[in-house]
A and B are shown apart, each in its own frame.
Chain A
Amino acid sequence: MSLRKKPKLAVYKFASCDGCQLSLLDCEDEILAVAGAIEIANFPEASRAVTSGPYDLTLVEGSITTPHDAERIHAIRRSSKVLVSIGACATSGGIQALRNFKDVNEFVSVVYARPDYIETLNKSTPISDHVWVDFELRGCPISKAQLLEVVNAFLNNRKPNISKESVCMECKMRGTPCVMVANKDPCLGPVTQAGCGAICPAYNRGCYSCFGPVASPNAGSLSHWWESKLGVDKDKLVRSYRGFNAGAEAFRQESEIHERG
């Protein structure tokens, strides 16, 4: 064991399902090693004992959807040396960014008995729209191996080994015959960032893009292929880009192109 001072870890939650932060607790085999290497200083899901900031590493889950949260994230940033946003909500606005394409007040009026109690923003936005983020860890949910890798890289003062390239690369490396080529199933893999290990194609399904767009996605070309060769209609195209990463800029644009017809 090396003799270094244990860095302090904090975990915060915004609009989200908790799945991503729970991935940390889900690291059954590694959790003791994590707890040995880092002081879990503020992580309500794990322990009620809270040590005050500043924190060396802060993980932020969830998107910003209320005026209160839009303020809260600034305070968190101020008390964090390194801030990593985790999951599709925190990195692109999440599934709740579907509201971005509609009038949120209409939803509120239908869903809540007392709409006047609800204070919400009309858009769900990623953390990086509000504060500086040191690293964005993608995924819905995140991969626990990648989360460990980020924590690990932080502890060892190195760059995390997290690919920004396509799911196709993972798919080919595991030897899966491409479902788009062999089965004519639409797959978002070519425009989606790796990280999941290309699970869906390995189970004969097209990729749903849980990990959001690659660095320079050519969604236009992919959509054209789906329409012209795989018989995918406009509605399905719009829905495909409006998944967990609907708010990611490239997917927002592409879905709007097809919504306009």
Chain B
Amino acid sequence: MGEAISNYAKRILPSTDLDRLLEALQQKGYTLVGPTVRENAIVLEEIEGAEDLPVGWTETQEAGSYKLSRNGSEEYFDFASGPHSFKKYLFPPRLKLWQAKRHRAGFKVEQENDQAPSYAFIGVRSCDLCAIEIQDKVFMGDSYVDPVYKERREKAFILAVNCTKPGNLCFCSSMDTGPKAKSGYDLAVTEQLKESEHVFLIQAGSEKGHELLEALELADADEGAVEFENKQLEDAATSMGRFLDTHKLPSVLKNNFEHPRWEQIADRCLSCANCTLVCPTCFCHTVEDTTDLTGDVAERWRQWDSCFTGDFTYFAGGSARASTKSRYRQWLTHKLSTWTDQFGTFGCVGCGRCIAWCPVGIDLTEEAAAIRATDLVSD
């Protein structure tokens, strides 16, 4: 995804200067959002500076398991995806859309003004950059533009981190969504910790990023650093813990709508919706109307929803997808098959979140492989 490769020069940012960069962003009025340790996980939250980043922390992940640990390293970005993604800032879990007040015989609608600050997203991995690109298509790709998403998105600054330490559940190589950030960022860094030095190779990807970088007056990257970066990214590309064979995958899934595997997954699946809520591309939401006790003020709220809920397909007479089998099938086929019809890409960027944060460790790469292995209609 994202073919463009930046032509801006690569520079060297000493790790001790990371705060200079973050301060420059703050001076431009950005609120920093980045990885930080909270309650046994590396989450995304507003941060004040480099001291809030998870230096010395890493994690190991298995299906249904995430284990935070200290590794004593000086690195800032020595970990893979955590439970949060940047979607919570662009597409907030719960949002008031408007309110209406009774007015003479009718009512008057008052639009809600989104008060969100301009965010600078710190440490966006390539998979998450691609996820943002996918949500861009969903929320602003055609004539129905989501104004809140659009405003937050256009105001945001993206500091990407090329991924040199993919985790055990990562498969961006399979999805062509990483580990190198290709486009869609303002600045991208590659962290390099060698015996003698700890630096970030840094490159602008936009005019905004370029301007900021120029002001820091950094030295050009030498050939050695660039070569080392290439090696880091090549190694990363071949050390993914998971793999997904995407060859003809959309049609394989479409052809196997009645595969017995769906029933078997349904025995394990809790229909709890965790996978969809942690997924950085899932965009489904519902709207809720509320009233005050007098009935004089009504409000409309939007909140995250999921194809795993009964209400998602509820209309007169019941839910169209009443069984867990049909709900899991919807999730998997949307991510890996029908999304391509709808938006031209997969709805999965290979971040592994749904595998780690499924409370019973259901792994979509395993499920897709199992269906392919016993393809009922091989063509």
Contact = CB atoms under 8 A, between A and B. Distances in A.
Contacts of A173: 93-94, 277, 303-304
A69 B186 CA distance: 69
A175 B67 CA distance: 17
Contacts of A33: 292-294
A16 to B, nearest CB: 25
A220 B269 CA distance: 10
Interface string A152-172: 110110100101111011001
B250 interface: no
Interface string B308-326: 1111000000000000100
Chain A contact residues, majority secondary structure: helix
Contact of B310 (A37, A153, A215): A215
B49 interface: no
A231 interface: no
B272 A189 contact: yes
Interface stretch (B156-164, B210-218, B342-350, B352-360): B352-360
Interface in A60-105: none
Interface stretch (B39-47, B188-196, B370-378): B39-47
Contact of B293 (A36, A181, A218): A36
B324 A216 contact: yes
A51 interface: no
B296 A1 contact: yes
A169 B41 CA distance: 18
| Most A-side CB within 10 Å, residue of B93, B278, B295 | B295
A163 B311 CA distance: 9
A228 to B, nearest CB: 10
Nearest to B306: A169
B208 interface: no
A225 B40 contact: no
A114 interface: no
A172 B303 CA distance: 12
A180 B271 CA distance: 16
A204 B39 contact: yes
Chain B CB within 10 Å — which of A156, A166, A182 has the most?
A182
A183 interface: yes
A41 interface: no
Contacts of A174: 93
B273 interface: yes
Nearest to A173: B93
B361 A177 contact: no
Interface stretch (B2-10, B73-81, B115-123, B283-291): B283-291
